[in-house]
Structure 1
Amino acid sequence: MEELLKVTVNRSNQQVISARDLYDGLNIARRFSLWVSDNFDDFEENADFTTVRKSTVVNNGAKRELQDYALTISMAKELCMMSHSEQGKVYRRYLIELERKWNDPAEIVKRGYAILQDENSRLKIENTQMQPKALFADAVSVSHTSILVGDLAKMIKQNGVDIGARRLFNWLREHHYLISRKGADYNSPTQYSMERELFEIKESTHINSDGVTVTTKTPKVTGKGQQYFINKFLNDQSA
């Protein structure tokens, strides 16, 4: 079927055409504004038509903004009848065929499938973007106990940040969460970390091969600390 009018689909999933295109196609003799004022009174704005702007190029090559209207197919058919012309009959038959194809069950199913595909694609993108945050939140929300720094590194890596235990220890020392000075307190939480309850120290004792009782101190990340560092690595990739 030869295209007599350009048809678009509006946000309400309705077919609409340009009033100016229909006006030109019907070869209306009087001015566009007069044709509109004479014929649009029986129609409802935002139901049968909406006001839009249309750009056109004038003789000097400049663009000019024109008043236009997006017409529903039903309104366009009535305007064709109101023209009382042979051209109006031709355009009305064209619009009836457009409407028939649009309402064909196979076309309805095809449009519905396309909408579902677009919606699924959008949801997949949103889920992909939110998945790391959701996984981090789930991991921390169930954490009521302190964990080793190595375990924290595994949690972070499982959620897309490339880091291991050694690199995480280095990062914690470089950012003054753990003591970097060599000695008995090496890798112990700094005062800054302890005041903010990001770490706690787990002490344990054992007897070495010489029969001497040895006390070891192990830094462990609290639930609050897990939340803090997880958000840090998730939201600040410069970390």
Structure 2
Amino acid sequence: MSLNELVFLKNEQPVTSSLQVAENFDKDHKHILESIENLTVENSAVKNMFREGTYKNSRGRLYRMFYMTKDGFTLLAMGFTGKKATRFKIQYINAFNKMEEQIKTGGFHVPSTMSEALRLAANQQDQIEQMKPKVLFANAVETSDTSILVGELAKLISQNGVNIGAGRLFEWLRSNGYLIAGNRSDRNMPTQRSMNLKIFEIKERTYSNPDGSVRVTKTPKVTGKGQTYFVNKFLKEI
């Protein structure tokens, strides 16, 4: 379980919910609600540590719940005992501390004015647009049934931010075991590994020579799956 699942921001403040506490400490939510109500009745100052809310069950019905601050959680969890309870208490406290630290250091920034909010939205949109070519390319290639030459693959990789030519790509494919290396007749043909991964295929063409003999040529081509495979592999190295 990650810390981010335990604590979240609500109204610019780190909180957790009575539902999460009940689930993680293996308690009936009804009993958690009763404990919170008892705490707030005993001391009115405690009320600021809890805020009532609602949630929908699987049938769409609304039920009560509470959001609580770090202090509210600490007060509530005092009565939870056992090794498992102690472990979860520590995880919650760490999660609250981490969230508070992120807010202090700018890990979470909440705009305070309309112009700041618009500027933040514009910056986020720019980041999304910058990422689009890579994402759209990968999605398009994955569903493609068209195989391409290695030189064409080099162009696609270059279009996605990694500058590489056909010669260097052939060398890289041989060095990394995707194409056969060495001075052999099958040089630059897909290795068995590539064929098993279905990232390459071999296209054969038959030509008739003037003397009546038949000549067969074999060309390695990158499948749609292979295009996705190699583009993602190179993008990870950026």
TM-score, structure 1 length as denominator? 0.50
Shift of 1:145: 2.0
8 Å Cα contact 2:180-2:191 kept in structure 1? yes
8 Å Cα contact 2:142-2:227 kept in structure 1? no
8 Å Cα contact 2:142-2:225 kept in structure 1? no
The residue number in structure 2 matching 1:216 is: 217
Shift of 1:155: 1.1
Which residue identity does 1:156 align to in structure 2? I
The DSSP-based 3-state class of the residue aligned with 2:177 is coil
The DSSP-based 3-state class of the residue aligned with 2:48 is coil
The residue number in structure 2 matching 1:160 is: 161
Shift of 1:177: 0.7
Which residue identity does 1:124 align to in structure 2? D
Flag structure 1 segments of 5+ consecutive residues without an equivalent. Answer: 1-10, 14-40, 53-109
Distance in 1, Cα, partners of 2:170 & 2:70: 63
Matches within 5 A, 1:100-115: 111-115=113-117
Q: CA RMSD in A?
A: 3.3
Shift of 1:211: 5.4
Residue 121, structure 1, aligned to residue 132, structure 2: no
Greater gyration radius: 1
Residues 46 and 124 (structure 1 numbering): CA distance in 2 closer, same or farther, change over 3 Å? farther
Shift of 1:157: 0.8
8 Å Cα contact 1:135-1:159 kept in structure 2? no
Matches within 5 A, 1:129-208: 130-208=131-209
Aligned length: 144
Residue-by-residue CA offset, 1:50-99 (whole Å, 9 max, x unaligned)? 999xxxxxxxxxxxxxxxxxxxxxxxxxxxxxxxxxxxxxxxxxxxxxxx
Residue identity over aligned pairs, in percent, reads: 50
Distance in 2, Cα, partners of 1:163 & 1:51: 52
More helix by share: 2
Which residue identity does 2:127 align to in structure 1? I
The residue number in structure 1 matching 2:19 is: none
Shift of 1:141: 3.0
Distance in 2, Cα, partners of 1:196 & 1:43: 61
- Out of 218-227 and 138-147, give the one that drifted further: 138-147
Distance in 1, Cα, partners of 2:45 & 2:234: 62
Shift of 1:143: 1.1
Distance in 2, Cα, partners of 1:138 & 1:192: 24
The residue number in structure 2 matching 1:235 is: 236
